Amino acid sequence: MSSERGSKHLSFIETASPNPWSTYLAQVDRVTPYLKNRARWVETLKHPKRALIVDVPIEMDDGSVRHFEGYRVQHNLSRGPGKGGIRFHPQVTLDETKALAAWMTIKTAAMDLPFGGAKGGVCVDPFTLSQNELEKLTRRYTSEISLIIGPTKDIPAPDVNTSAQVMAWIMDTYSMQVGFTASGVVTGKPIHLGGSLGRVKATGRGVFVTGREAASRIGLKIEGAKVSIQGLGNVGSAAAELFAANGAKVVAVQDQWGTLIDEHGLDIQTLLAQPQGIRGVKGALANDGAFWDTPCDILILAALESQMTPERARKTKAKLVLEGANGPTLPDADDVLADRNILVVPDVICNAGGVTVSYFEWVQDFSSYFWSEEEINARLDKLMVDALRKIWTCAENNKISLRTATYVIACERILAAREERGLYP
């Protein structure tokens, strides 16, 4: 695999701020030379189809009224209804939501799922809200975006700081508005409400599956491998459990509150049982550079976007980087990693396990027939292995990175759909 730097890209990257939408646009520019005749449609990918900005006013427990800004972006619906999570975070912006929606378009196409790409978010620190305030925020936000979501239109799911409970409130609010129980309006729901077995850990499982396949292709054994993980939430914790269960040593972990390092391997089950996360563990360090310097074979990025900077890319000792998070690597850091011969399994395939089991959940809801967890995990494993095999072959044939190869395959599918549908009117 190699980097596809060109003077055009370099000039863009050198001036780019870590704005996720700029990162996404740079990724599209990199793939354009490989799109042949479809390249005439590539501008489609640079324009979100629809972006809704909503005001979310709620009455707080102390009687005051606060307003929060929320978004739902449908980036591309050429291949099917919108699909993508909802994030509650104080740094949510329209540009971030646009980028996350666009990465969903690429991801669903890379996995050949019959969806487009969408994403939503509310600019709020949910840790400062009571449960009652969180429910009100979720319900009002849902009501505002119900103009454009629906089981055949756009189907949200969990993302950073949103859970199965939040999905249950969204499903209930939407159902009250349409007058019937609409299970298929969200995925990642509790099992009692039509959720799917295996969904909670699906994204982390996909990180493990793609990591296992990539590792075997570069001659790296999972058993005994040293693994560092940034982000120990839904994605990072499930990946940590699976790597540890398969004999890897998790030597460093970092969340937003602290870092833990132990070259002999951390006890993952004990750590994940800590109600306060890393900060609740004796020996936790502040989040300085130590995490990035720790010797490891595999680095899992499972926190937020723009975390892998060129400086960190020069420091890391990993041979394999797994992007559990969306957009964690800046384009110029991608170049540093490629120059150092460090293999990156990109977000748009690495973390696609979540949307794949969300697709299974949506199918199960429509057919009202539910599958066993073994069946779901086996189907997920097979779809991800098949998708990665095609991407690997494309990367080798074209001497391009796995990221660009994933975009080549996904963009061909999206732009073929665009071209065959034609422009209306």
Q: Catalogue the active-site residues.
A: 119
Nearer to ligand NAD, 80 or 258 (CB): 258
Under the binding rule (CB under 6 A), the answer on residue 252 touching ligand NAD is: no
- By C-alpha distance, which of 80, 170, 184, 176 is closest to 134? 170
Burial of 343 (C-beta count, 10 Å sphere; 0-12/13-18/19+): buried
Q: How far is the CB of 62 from ligand NAD (least distance, A)?
A: 26
Closest residue by Cα to residue 110 from 343, 345, 336: 345
Q: Does 361 bind ligand NAD (CB under 6 A)?
A: no
Per residue in 244-283, is it b (16+ CB within 10 Å) or e — as a string?
Answer: beeebbbbbbbbeebbbbeeeebebeebbeeeebbeebee
Q: Smallest distance, Å, CB 149 to ligand NAD?
A: 18
State the minimum distance, in angstroms, from the CB of residue 30 to ligand NAD. 21
In 3D space, the residue among 199, 183, 189 whose CA is nearest the CA of residue 163 turns out to be 189
Give SS3 for 154: strand
What CA–CA distance (Å, rounded) separates 310 from 306? 10
23 contributes a contact to ligand NAD by CB under 6 A: no
Which is nearest to 118 in space by CA: 81, 89, 147, 170? 81
Task: Check residue 325 for interaction with ligand NAD (CB under 6 A).
Answer: yes
Position closest to ligand NAD via CB: 233
Name the residue nearer to ligand NAD (CB basis): 158 or 184.
Answer: 158
255 binds ligand NAD (CB under 6 A): yes
For residue 197, give the amino acid letter. Answer: L
Query: Rounded to an integer, what distance in angstroms lies between the CA atom of residue 167 and that of residue 86?
Result: 9
Q: What is the size of the binding site for ligand NAD (CB under 6 A)?
A: 23
Q: Does 343 bind ligand NAD (CB under 6 A)?
A: no
Q: Are 122 and 69 in contact (CB under 8 A)?
A: yes
Q: Is 96 in the site for ligand NAD (CB under 6 A)?
A: no
Listed ranges 144-152, 208-216, 268-276, 322-330: which one lies at the site for ligand NAD (CB under 6 A)? 322-330
Q: Which of 44, 203, 294, 401 touches ligand NAD (CB under 6 A)?
A: 203
Q: Binding residue for ligand NAD (CB under 6 A) from 117, 120, 231, 346?
A: 231
Q: Are 285 and 260 in contact (CB under 8 A)?
A: yes
233 binds ligand NAD (CB under 6 A): yes
Does residue 258 belong to the site contacting ligand NAD (CB under 6 A)?
no
Answer yes or no: are the C-beta atoms of 115 and 107 closer than 8 Å: no
| Contact call for residue 97 and ligand NAD (CB under 6 A) | no
Task: Provide the token pair at 399.
Answer: 């001497």
Which range in 3-11, 170-178, 219-227, 248-256 contacts ligand NAD by CB under 6 A? Answer: 248-256
Closer to ligand NAD by Cβ: residue 75 or 418: 75
CA-closest candidate to residue 252, choices 208, 300, 212: 300
Determine the 3-state secondary structure of 389 from DSSP. Answer: helix
User: Does residue 316 interact with ligand NAD by CB under 6 A?
Assistant: no
User: Nearer to ligand NAD by C-beta: 234 or 329?
Assistant: 234
Q: Does 256 engage in binding with ligand NAD (CB under 6 A)?
A: yes
**Is 105 an interacting residue with respect to ligand NAD (CB under 6 A)?**
no
Each residue 154-193 as x (binds ligand NAD by CB under 6 A) or -, in order, gives ----xxxx--------------------------------
| Identity of the residue, 7 or 128, whose beta carbon is nearer to ligand NAD in the bound complex | 128
Contact between 353 and 207 (Cβ < 8 Å): yes
CB of 107 to ligand NAD, least distance (A): 8
One of 322, 354, 380, 415 touching ligand NAD (CB under 6 A): 354
Q: Which residues of 117-139 are buried (b: 16+ CB within 10 A; e: fewer)?
A: bbbbbbbbebeebeeebbbbbbb
Amino acid at 274: Q
Which of residues 70, 120, 324, 331 is near ligand NAD by CB under 6 A? 324
Residues contributing to the site for ligand NAD (CB under 6 A):
158-161, 203, 230-236, 254-256, 302-304, 324-326, 351, 354
